[in-house]
């Protein structure tokens, strides 16, 4: 395998930009379901309120060009579902810029130009609460600070009267209360969301444990069928040869019985695997349980144990022999990371009706590397930066069922807890490749 290149200044800068973009995506996520509707309503309000403040309830200052600019900024967001695929990656950044312009900047600038009129004091206060409703505390403070600073700068550069000190002094207590209580409400909502997640986790753990008993019973029943059915078939054949009145069993019936036994054992094994993955994802990772592992042995065992849905699925997976390395970690954790990657690759290549899965292991300098590559449909460029985000899930087919968005997030957490890293690169329509890197230890290392 090609040794990893030494990080350059540009690569480090690019990594910082990706982290910023990821943070903006997470901050904008609460508004994502209603983003198009909010943008459409906002763009209409920009124009509708012009005649109100210009003629019906005239204010000292109004600006139609500024309102048209706000409308033009918001309209593309209302049509986001028709954005070209390549542009969707910048949607979170554009959303931040648009909100900064139409709320704190526009409301702040109009407040200053109108001499702190009562109407614009109320509008400015409403803009603060709207921003708080759409973003978390960090994003709100950043957007409010930047928008307000730009509004003050535009007011200073352009024509303006004296600063409306009196109205602003009266407004400051209300502004301080909004800035103090708003973030507290946001934190309370975040705490409530975290409480719900913990409750769901506990409930899923209880359900998973409760399912063990019936699954165990099904497994025992399947083993009993497989053990005693051949004797019953022999007895049935002897009874037929003796001329006894027994029901006829056709070859198709026997094949159905054999397939039924195989199906029972496969589905029980698959269900146990899913339960193990759920429990592993919810359980705290304890580094004290880590030990020295031979990566090749763990990888072979994981590929062999994976509950394939069919022989065709199993034949799509190719494990290439290569170098080996020792890592300090947990075998169940690493196994379930491989399971997650296999499950995703098999799912997407299966839906696309094409593609093979190639798994390689080797060393690159002082790093041990596991590569899982599939030649399936690839990952769209706007989705690729988000795939490791918790609770982010994507389905290219709008009628398809997306996952819960916890598998890859758990995989990254598990790999990083074992001192490694996991990255993904993909070309849409061609391939997807996951690279798992660990500090390679000597073969005779001990935990």
d(CA 360, CA 434): 11
Taking a C-beta distance cutoff of 8 angstroms, is the pair 343, 302 a contact?
no
- pTM for this entry: 0.62
d(CA 386, CA 89): 10
d(CA 13, CA 28): 23
Question: Quick one: average pLDDT of 191-203?
Answer: 61
Q: Tens digit of pLDDT for each residue in 404-438?
A: 567 788 888 889 888 899 999 998 888 999 999 99
Q: Which two tokens stand for residue 68?
A: 């048209």
d(CA 189, CA 202): 20
HEC readout, 233-280: HHHHHHHHHCCCCCCCCCHHHHHHHHHHHHHHHHHHHHHHHHHHHHHH
Quote the percentage of the chain above a pLDDT of 70: 73
Q: Write down the H helix ranges in 115-164.
A: 118-134, 137-157
Q: In angstroms, how far is the first alpha carbon of the chain from the final one?
A: 26
- Give buried/exposed letters for 384-420 (b at 16+ CB in 10 A, else e): bbbbbbeebbeeeeeeeeeeebbbbbbbbbbbebbeb
Question: Quick one: average pLDDT of 321-328?
Answer: 83
pLDDT: is 181 or 384 the higher one? 384
Does residue 115 come out as left (phi exceeding 0), alpha (psi in the -120 to 50 range) or beta?
left
pLDDT of residue 47: 93
Model confidence at 63: pLDDT above 60: yes
Q: Coil, strand, or helix at residue 435? A: strand
C-alpha distances (whole Å) from 18 to each of 7, 14, 22, 203, 423 are: 15, 6, 6, 35, 13
Q: Tens digit of pLDDT for each residue in 267-309?
A: 676 676 666 666 665 565 666 778 889 999 999 988 888 878 7
Residue 17 banded pLDDT, cuts 50, 70, 90: low
d(CA 110, CA 116): 9
pLDDT of residue 238: 82
Residue 311 banded pLDDT, cuts 50, 70, 90: confident
Residue 5 banded pLDDT, cuts 50, 70, 90: very low
Q: Tens digit of pLDDT for each residue in 333-343?
A: 888 899 889 98
Model confidence at 443: pLDDT above 60: no
Model confidence at 369: pLDDT above 50: yes
d(CA 54, CA 51): 5
Q: Which two tokens stand for residue 392?
A: 């982010």
Model confidence at 367: pLDDT above 60: yes
Taking a C-beta distance cutoff of 8 angstroms, is the pair 186, 136 a contact?
yes
Residue matched to tokens 């496969």: 266
Residue matched to tokens 């001499």: 115
Residue 43 banded pLDDT, cuts 50, 70, 90: very high
pLDDT: is 321 or 158 the higher one? 158
Going 412 to 414 to 417 to 419, the CA torsion angle's sign is negative
CA 246, distance to chain mean position in Å, is 58
Q: Coil, strand, or helix at residue 42? A: helix
Quote the percentage of the chain above a pLDDT of 90: 23
Model confidence at 92: pLDDT above 90: no
Strand 326-329 with 291-294, pairing = antiparallel
pLDDT of residue 209: 64
Taking a C-beta distance cutoff of 8 angstroms, is the pair 328, 418 a contact?
yes
- For residue 434, the surrounding DSSP H or E stretch is strand 431-439
pLDDT averaged over the chain?
A: 79
Residue 283, number of CB atoms within 10 A of its CB: 12
Q: Tens digit of pLDDT for each residue in 219-273?
A: 777 777 777 777 777 787 788 778 788 777 777 776 777 667 776 776 676 676 6
d(CA 336, CA 273): 9
C-alpha distances (whole Å) from 233 to each of 40, 254, 264, 437 are: 70, 9, 19, 53
Model confidence at 31: pLDDT above 90: no
Residue 112's Cβ-count burial label (10 Å; 0-12, 13-18, 19+) is buried
pLDDT of residue 401: 41
Strand 431-439 with 367-374, pairing = antiparallel
d(CA 307, CA 304): 8
> CB neighbours of 199 closer than 8 A, spacing ≥ 6?
none
C-alpha distances (whole Å) from 22 to each of 8, 18, 47, 91, 383 are: 21, 6, 33, 11, 11
pLDDT: is 109 or 139 the higher one? 109
C-alpha distances (whole Å) from 106 to each of 11, 74, 99, 123, 129 are: 36, 13, 10, 10, 15
Model confidence at 194: pLDDT above 70: no
Paired with 264 in beta bridges are: none
């Amino acid at each position: 395998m090609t040794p990893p290149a030494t990080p350059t200044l540009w690569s480090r800068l690019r990594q910082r930009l990706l982290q910023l973009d990821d943070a903006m995506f997470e901050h904008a996520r609460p508004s994502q379901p209603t983003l198009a509707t909010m943008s459409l309503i906002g763009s209409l309000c920009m124009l509708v309120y012009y005649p109100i403040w210009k003629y019906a309830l005239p204010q000292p200052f109004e600006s139609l060009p500024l309102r048209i600019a706000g409308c033009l900024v918001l309209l593309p967001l209302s049509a986001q579902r028709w954005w070209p695929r390549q542009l969707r990656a910048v949607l979170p950044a554009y959303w931040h810029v648009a909100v900064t312009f139409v709320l704190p900047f526009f409301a702040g600038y109009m407040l200053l130009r109108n001499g702190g009129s009562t109407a614009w004091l109320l509008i400015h206060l409403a803009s603060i609460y709207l921003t708080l409703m759409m973003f978390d505390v960090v994003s709100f403070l950043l957007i409010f600070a930047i928008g307000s600073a730009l509004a003050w700068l535009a007011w200073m550069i352009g024509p303006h009267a004296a600063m409306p000190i009196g109205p602003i002094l009266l407004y400051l207590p209300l502004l301080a209360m909004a800035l103090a209580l708003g973030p507290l409400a946001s934190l309370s909502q975040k705490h409530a969301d975290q409480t719900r997640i913990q409750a769901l986790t506990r409930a899923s753990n209880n359900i998973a444990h409760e399912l063990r008993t019936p699954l165990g019973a099904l497994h025992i029943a399947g083993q009993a069928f497989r053990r005693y059915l051949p004797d019953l078939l022999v007895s049935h054949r002897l009874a037929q040869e003796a001329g006894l009145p027994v029901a006829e069993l056709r070859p198709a019936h026997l094949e159905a019985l054999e397939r039924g036994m195989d199906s029972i054992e496969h589905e029980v094994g698959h269900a146990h695997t899913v339960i193990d993955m759920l429990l592993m994802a919810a359980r705290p990772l304890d580094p004290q349980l880590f030990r020295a592992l031979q990566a090749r042995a763990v990888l072979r065992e994981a590929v062999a144990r994976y509950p394939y849905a069919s022989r065709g699925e199993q034949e799509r997976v190719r494990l290439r022999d290569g170098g080996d390395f020792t890592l300090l970690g947990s075998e169940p954790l690493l196994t379930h990371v491989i399971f997650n990657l296999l499950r995703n690759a098999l799912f997407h290549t299966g839906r696309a009706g094409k593609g093979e899965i190639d798994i390689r292991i080797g060393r690159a300098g002082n790093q041990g590397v596991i590569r899982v590559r599939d030649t399936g449909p690839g990952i769209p460029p706007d989705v690729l930066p988000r795939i490791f985000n918790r609770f982010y899930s994507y389905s290219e087919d709008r009628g398809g069922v997306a996952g819960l968005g916890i598998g890859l997030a758990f995989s990254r957490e598990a790999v990083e807890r074992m001192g490694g890293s996991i990255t993904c690169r993909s070309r849409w329509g061609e391939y997807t490749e996951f690279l798992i890197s660990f500090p390679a230890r000597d073969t005779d290392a001990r935990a």
